[in-house]
Structure formats: C-alpha cells, structure tokens
Amino acid sequence: MRLLITAGPTREPIDPVRFLSNRSSGRMGYALAEAAHAAGHEVLLISGPVTLPAPSGVQIIRIETAREMFDAVRTHLPGCDSAIFSAAVADYRPAQIIPQKLKKSADTLTLELERTEDILGSVRSQFAFTGFLVGFAAETENLIAHAQDKLQRKGCDLIIANDVSQSGIGFDSLENEVTLCLPDGQTMPLPRQLKTALARELIAHISRLSSPHATK
Ligand code: CTP
C-alpha cells in the first residue's frame, strides 16, 4: 500500500529567531516509516524539524509549521491508501509574527495565540479521504475514553493511545507503550517496548486491519 505518515513537532514562529514548539523527537513516526518500508509499502513521510536521519527508501517532505504540514497533507493524501498521523502538531500559534527580533522592555509579555489547522480532523471532512486513517492520542488521564472520543470525532479507523503522564515512554523517549482503540470499542494493549519494535508491530496491525478482507 501507499502510506502517508506525519512525524515530529511543528515550529510556530514568534519573531525571526524564536518559535513555539514541543518535545516530540519524531522517533515514533520515523520508526513507523522505516518499518512500513521494510514491510514492502511505499512511504511518504511529512516531517517537522527533527535531528533524525532520513529513513532510506522513504520519500520525505520537510515542513516547519502546522500550516505547511496541513498543505503538504492536502497535496499528497490523494492516491494514498492509508495515513498515520503521529506528528505532535502545535495546537496554537502566535496570532502575529513579529517582523523584527523582539526586544525586551516590560517585565511581562503577553503573546496572543490562535488555533492552528486540525490536520487529522480535516482528513475526512475537508479532504474527503476514504482510505484507512490512523491517529495518535497522547493523554494524561482517562486514556481510553479520550481516545475513543477522538476516534469518533475525527473519523479514524484506529487510534494509537498512549499515557504521556508515565515517564520513559512517549514524547522524546526511546520506548513507548500504547493501546490500540478500534471503532467497535475494542481495545488492545501492547507491551512497553522500543519504538522500533513497536513500529513493526503497529505496521503489521495496520496492514491486517486495512486489508479489505480484514476480520477485525
Ligand atoms: N493532530 C493533527 N493536527 C493538529 C493537532 C493534532 O493532525 N493540529 C493529530 C495528531 O497527529 C494526532 C491526533 O491529531 O494523531 C491527536 O492529537 P491531539 O493533540 O491529542 O488531539 P486533539 O484533537 O488536539 O485533542 P486535545 O483535545 O486532547 O488537544
């Protein structure tokens, strides 16, 4: 299958030298891209700024902001059979980009933020994508309930849920521990493991679930 994967953080500029971002390393998305390529799939990776080497055999498009990731997904999603949204997209960006480097003056500074595009949330409603859609849900409480709610709201076929309140897994870690959530309410916890090993397991599940003859 042809698979689109988003990965890494986005950067939302404040002025020419500063930005808002998050701790995402991109490791989960890059591991998924590598595992999918190794399993024989054609992979397009849309990546925010990370320090990881580009996975071999994978087409990569590099972006910085949520808006650029939104545009790249809109352009490249048609023709893909499946899409996995593992990027940690900034939910807000500065409402105005200050054109010159901001100089310090007052003791406090207030930045006005505005919502960014909800990329995963646009896939069914705006892009009319009919392929197999996988989202991530990073939660600190009520993991399964929030993940199931996200699955319904965004029209996903699978949500990969992880509890980011636990240390050593998820954001900026080598390991992850996730629970698969399916539209029929079924859940499947997977053991804590290296993201590289987990990625192989996830790609196997996604290949099975997305096959037209899948017996879920
Ligand atoms: N996502 C996205 N575009 C955004 C924000 C998130 O595509 N602007 C995707 C992520 O890649 C992930 C999923 O949406 O697959 C869930 O991200 P999360 O931030 O947990 O979801 P939200 O719907 O923003 O939920 P919350 O209310 O928890 O912020």
* 114, 35 contact by CB (below 8 A): no
Encoded tokens for 177: 């521990």
Identify the CATH number of the domain defined by range 2-90+113-209: 3.40.50.10300
**pLDDT value at position 214?**
56
Ligand 1 nearest atom to the CA of residue 159, by list position: 15
Nearest CA owner, ligand 1 atom 20: 137
Which of 43, 9, 2, 4 has the alpha carbon at shortest distance from 23? 9
Ligand 1 centroid to Cα of residue 73, in Å, is 15
Query: Annotated catalytic residue: which of 22, 142, 162, 176?
Result: 22
Please name the residue whose Cα sits nearest to atom 29 of ligand 1. Answer: 91
pLDDT given at position 216:
45
Residue type at 160 in one-letter notation: I
**Nearest residue (CA) to ligand 1, atom 14:** 120
Residue nearest to atom 9 of ligand 1 (CA): 120
In terms of phi and psi (left: phi > 0; alpha: psi -120 to 50; beta: otherwise), the region of 40 is left
Average predicted confidence (pLDDT) for the chain: 95
Distance 84 CA to ligand 1 centre (A): 12
Q: What is the DSSP letter of 171?
A: T
Whole-number Å distance, alpha carbon 89 to ligand 1 midpoint, is 7
Q: What residue ranges do the domains of the chain occupy?
A: 2-90+113-209
Number of the ligand 1 atom closest to the C-alpha atom of 120: 7
Ligand 1 contacts (CB < 6 A) are 6, 66, 85-87, 89, 91, 116-120, 135-138, 150
14 alpha carbon – ligand 1 mean position (Å):
21
Contact 77, 83 (CB under 8 A): yes
pLDDT of residue 171: 78
Q: What is the pLDDT of residues 136-183, one digit of tens each?
A: 999 999 999 999 999 999 999 999 999 888 887 777 788 999 999 999
Q: Output the six-digit token pair for 128.
A: 């009319």
Asked if 176 is an active-site residue, the reply is no
| Residue numbers in the chain where pLDDT is lower than 50 | 215-216
- What's the predicted TM-score (pTM) here? 0.95
